[in-house]
Amino acid sequence: MEISVVIPTFNEGRNVNILAERLTSVLSPLGRMFEIIFVDDSMDDTPNYLQKLTAGNPSVRYIHRTERRGLATAVLDGVDAAVGEIVVVMDADLQHPPEVIPDMIRTIEQGCQMVIPSRFIPGGNDGGLNPYRKVVSWGARMIARAALRRIRQISDPTSGFFAVRKAAIEGIRFEPLGWKIMLEFIVRADIRSIAEIPYRFQARDLGSSKMNMGEHLRYLVHVGKLVAASDEDSRFVKFGLIGLCGVVVNTTLYWTLLKSGLAVFWAFLAASFISMLFNFVLNNRYTWQSRHGSGSSILNWAGRLLKYSVVTSGSILLSSGLVSALVHFFHAHSLFSGWIGIAFGIVWNFVLNDKWTFSRKRAARPALVESAKAEPRRMEL
């Protein structure tokens, strides 16, 4: 298989020759055709270094961009220009060791669609990060893994170092923002087989980090866009928004019925049943529509309503009892107690409706397999 190495660069002139030499020394023994593509957005003299590097060296080329900038779009432009069946993406700062690439290629050729060198599995190390960047990196990983279901078993989801079969990401409309293009590939492309191998993140010797607060904010926006683009990841957000609307309905009715003289238990019970119907109609239409489609029969609709009613009735009875106990035994304010009951009901309803009322055929959980030299950690998504 032909190999293309795509390297986005920004003011990394002192590193490009060293990196190209190290890449050539590890790729040449593989006995495969390879190319090294620098996609350069530099505003210093890096293009001069690249011009000299590529002169008379057919395996190295560069693209200098002046109108479109950013690491993620640089990777996309490099992938578009690549001719290899396997594309390796890495940074130009020498913190991603080229010596790991042969193991990445071997793992891809064993059947994986993507290989991610990880700092956080046995044999890996993130010692090249300073304490501040370690904290930022940890936070970014936790945000991504909490928000995006497809990457929850990936130990290093914010890595900028990975290999992917080009066929797995062709024909997909990507909408990158910021610097974490790998998240974009995993969430939007049909990548089902991923392996992680350990590597030791290197300390930077030359140049300076390009990370800043603007990149952190773009990362958060990017994760939000990926959540919105995924039915599974956006489902709880939709459910929560509908739940907030239901809270307004529930609270208004509950308070009105209390003022009319109805007992706490019966006031909350009545308000909850009415808000249940309100929430079902919206959740059936928006939150879980992808599981049953828009053309399902009235019988299927009625069946979902029956299940939803059973789940919600249990929630209503339990939360009504909770509210009543808070008011009568703990002397809590009736409105505050109502909010506690509502919060309990929202969690109960989402979990049981997701697993039963609007159940889906679950994809197999990623299978972890330990093997040979690089100890890949494999996942089937």
The pTM (predicted TM-score) of the whole model is 0.69
Write b or e for each residue in 130-155: b if 16 or more Cβ atoms lie within 10 A of its Cβ, otherwise e.
eeeeeebbeebbebbbebbebbebbb
Distance separating alpha carbons of residues 284 and 357, to the nearest angstrom:
10
- CA nearest to 10, candidates 126, 93, 100, 117: 93
**Tens-digit pLDDT profile for residues 34-43:** 999 999 988 8
> What's the rounded mean pLDDT across residues 331-347?
85
> Quick one: DSSP state of residue 356?
I
Structural domains in the chain, sorted by start:
3-229 (3.90.550.10), 232-357 (no CATH)
Helix (H) or strand (E) holding 7: strand 3-9
44-80: pLDDT as tens digits: 888 999 999 999 789 999 999 987 777 888 999 999 9
pLDDT band at 89 (very low <50, low <70, confident <90, very high): very high
**Averaged confidence pLDDT in the chain:** 85
* Phi/psi of residue 332, nearest 5 degrees: -75, 155
Given a cut of 90, is residue 5 above it in pLDDT? yes
pLDDT surpassing 70 at residue 362: no
pLDDT score, position 367: 38
290 phi and psi angles, rounded to 5 deg: -65, -20
Percent of the chain with pLDDT over 70: 89
- Token pair for 214: 């603007």
Say whether pLDDT at 108 is over 70.
yes
Q: Is the pLDDT of residue 226 over 50?
A: yes
Partners of 118 in the β-ladder? 198
Q: Where are the alpha helices (DSSP H) in 205-230?
A: 213-229
Average pLDDT over residues 326-354: 86
Q: Is 171 left (phi over 0), alpha (psi -120 to 50) or beta?
A: left
pLDDT value for 211 = 53
Report the pLDDT value the prediction gives residue 294, as an integer from 0 to 100.
Answer: 60
* Concatenated DSSP letters of 131-198: HHHHHHHHHHHHHHHHH-GGGTT-S-TT-S-EEEEHHHHTT------TT-HHHHHHHHS---EEEEEE
Query: For residues 130 and 181, which has the higher predicted lDDT (pLDDT)?
Result: 181
Mean pLDDT of 220-244: 83
Residue 258 CB partners (closer than 8 Å, separation 6+): 264, 267, 334
pLDDT for 30: 93
pLDDT at 363 over 80: no
Distance CA 351, CA 353 (A): 6
**pLDDT per residue over 235-262, tens digit each?**
878 888 898 898 899 999 999 999 999 9
Over residues 337-348, the mean pLDDT reads 83
CB contact at 8 A, 115 and 163: yes
